[in-house]
Amino acid sequence: MKETLQVIRRGKGGVTLIAGGTNVIPDMRAKAIKPAVLIDISRLKSLSYIKEDKKKIRIGGLTTVSELASSKMIQRYAPILSEAANQLGNPLVRNRATIAGNLADGSPAADTAVPLLALDAIIITDRRKIPIDQFFVGPNRTVLKKDSMIKEIVFAKANSKTKMSYAKLGLRNAMAISVVSIAILVEIEGGRCKKARIGLGAVAPKPIRAYGVEEMLVDQKITGELIEACCEKVTNEIRPISDIRASAEYRREMTSVLLRRLMAQVCS
C-alpha cells in the first residue's frame, strides 16, 4: 500500500489506476482514455474488507460490488447499498467492479453513489476525508486528484429509528444503466421526521442530494399532502438530460413517481 502510493506519486499525475477494470478497459478500447501508465491495484488485499465498529461501517475501496451485495452486515445496516449493488451490471461485472472504481469514475448514474449519498458517506483517500456530497463535480469528474487513491468509505450504522428504501429504474432488469435511481433514508421519532436524506442518480450532471425535499420533511409529520408536495419539489431540484435511454421529461416524471413510492414505503 505504502509502496503503491510512492509509485503513484512518482507518476506526477500521469498515472491511471485500474481496479476491476470494468470502466478503464472499455474506455481504453473506445480510445476515450489513453493512459501513459496503468497501475493495477486489484491485488491490494488490505483494501478489500467490510468492517463494523460500534457506530460505523467501513468498506475498503477495493471491495467488489458482489461482496457488497452479499454482505450480511451491509444487508443489515445499509440495505439500500446492498440493493443497489445487487442491481449493478451483471454477475460478471459485479465480481470485478469495485466500490472505489464506481465512485472514482464519477458517472452521473453511478449506482453505489446514490445510497452512499443517502447514508452521508465519507470517502477516505490517502490525503483527506471527503463527504460524498462534495465528491462529484460533473459528468465523470470528481474532486479526486490524479495521484490520489480511495482507501475507504465510511458511514454511520442505521439505528432503530432509521428507515430506508432504494429503487433503480432501467430499461430492463439486468445490465441496465440507471434511467433514474433513488435512495431515501429517514429517521422518524414521535411520528415526526427528524432526519431525511435523498440521493438521486442519472437525473443531473452528477449524483445529487435533493436538499430542498429533505428540508421540507424535517420536523414534519409525513402526510399524503406532504408527500405530494415533495414529489412536486423534487422535479425542480433535478436537471435531467435526454439521451439514448430516456427523455428528460420521462426522467422528471419517473423521479416523482419513484419518490412517491419510496416515501410511502418508509412511512408505512
Ligand X SMILES: Cc1cc2nc3c(=O)[nH]c(=O)nc-3n(C[C@H](O)[C@H](O)[C@H](O)COP(=O)(O)OP(=O)(O)OC[C@H]3O[C@@H](n4cnc5c(N)ncnc54)[C@H](O)[C@@H]3O)c2cc1C
| 122 near ligand X, judged by CB under 6 A | no
Interface residue with ligand X among 8, 97, 217, 246 (CB under 6 A) is: 97
Helix boundaries (H) for the chain:
2-10, 24-29, 65-70, 72-77, 79-86, 91-96, 99-105, 113-118, 211-217, 224-237, 248-267
Please report, as residue ranges, which positions from 38 to 67 form the binding site for ligand X (by CB under 6 A).
61, 65
* Cα–Cα distance list, 187 to 74, 98, 232, 237 (Å): 18, 29, 22, 22
Residue 215 CB partners (closer than 8 Å, separation 6+): none
C-alpha cell at 28: 481504453
| 207 near ligand X, judged by CB under 6 A | no
Interface residue with ligand X among 111, 133, 147, 237 (CB under 6 A) is: 111
| 104 near ligand X, judged by CB under 6 A | yes
| 120 near ligand X, judged by CB under 6 A | no
Phi and psi at 40, nearest 5°, equal -85, 115
| 17 near ligand X, judged by CB under 6 A | yes
Q: Indicate the residue type of 105.
A: D
Nearer to ligand X, 101 or 199 (CB): 101
**Position of cell 430492463?**
172
Give the per-residue contact string, 142-181, with ligand X (x = CB under 6 A; - = no): --x----xx------------------------x-x----
Interface residue with ligand X among 86, 105, 188, 220 (CB under 6 A) is: 105
Phi and psi at 125, nearest 5°, equal -105, 180
**Size of the residue set binding ligand X (CB under 6 A):** 32
**Position of cell 446492498?**
82
| 241 near ligand X, judged by CB under 6 A | no
Cα–Cα distance, 103 to 124 (Å, whole number)? 12
Residue 8 beta carbon to ligand X: minimum distance, rounded to whole angstroms: 9
* Closest residue to bound ligand X by CB: 101
Residue 98 DSSP code: B
Residue 138 beta carbon to ligand X: minimum distance, rounded to whole angstroms: 15
**Position of cell 449493488?**
85
Residue 167 beta carbon to ligand X: minimum distance, rounded to whole angstroms: 14
- Integer-rounded Cα Rg, in Å, for the chain is 18
**Position of cell 453505489?**
112
Nearer to ligand X, 19 or 230 (CB): 19
| 101 near ligand X, judged by CB under 6 A | yes
| 23 near ligand X, judged by CB under 6 A | yes
Provide the binding-site residues for ligand X, judged by CB under 6 A.
16-24, 26, 61, 65, 88-89, 93, 96-98, 100-102, 104-105, 107, 109-111, 144, 149-150, 175, 177
